[in-house]
């Protein structure tokens, strides 16, 4: 089965879906999107970017700050 990214079954997605495995154990795309918007909106309101420090490490820090548990880049083949 090819997923929406065209890579077949993504190992980071719940089996048979294109929904990323997540700590909330949500398997509905709409529910996951709603939760992501709520959680990241709250964090984004408190975020002050440092535009003088646009390195890959800093972009990873931004990603961690917004998504908390996402601690390292992932690769899909």
Cβ contact 13:19 at 8 Å: yes
**pLDDT surpassing 80 at residue 8:** no
- 29-73 pLDDT, tens digit per residue, is 999 999 989 988 989 998 998 889 899 989 888 888 888 766 667
Q: What is the pLDDT of residue 3?
A: 52
Q: What is the pLDDT of residue 41?
A: 92
Q: What is the pLDDT of residue 28?
A: 93
**Within 13 Å and on the Cβ side, how many CA atoms surround 33?**
4
From residue 65, alpha-carbon distances to 16, 44, 46, 70, 76 in Å are: 29, 9, 10, 9, 23
Give the C-alpha separation, 38 to 75, whole Å: 26
1.10.3290.10, 2.30.110.10, 3.40.50.1100, 3.40.50.2300: CATH of 1-71: 1.10.3290.10
What is the domain partition of the chain in residue ranges? 1-71
pTM for the model stands at 0.64
């Amino acid at each position: 089965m090819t997923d929406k990214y065209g890579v077949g079954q993504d190992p980071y997605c719940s089996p048979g879906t294109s929904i990323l495995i997540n700590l909330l154990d949500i398997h509905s795309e709409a529910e996951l999107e709603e939760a992501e918007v709520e959680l990241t909106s709250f964090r984004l309101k408190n975020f002050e970017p440092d535009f003088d420090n646009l390195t890959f490490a800093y972009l990873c820090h931004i990603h961690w700050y917004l998504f908390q548990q996402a601690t390292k880049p992932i690769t899909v083949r």
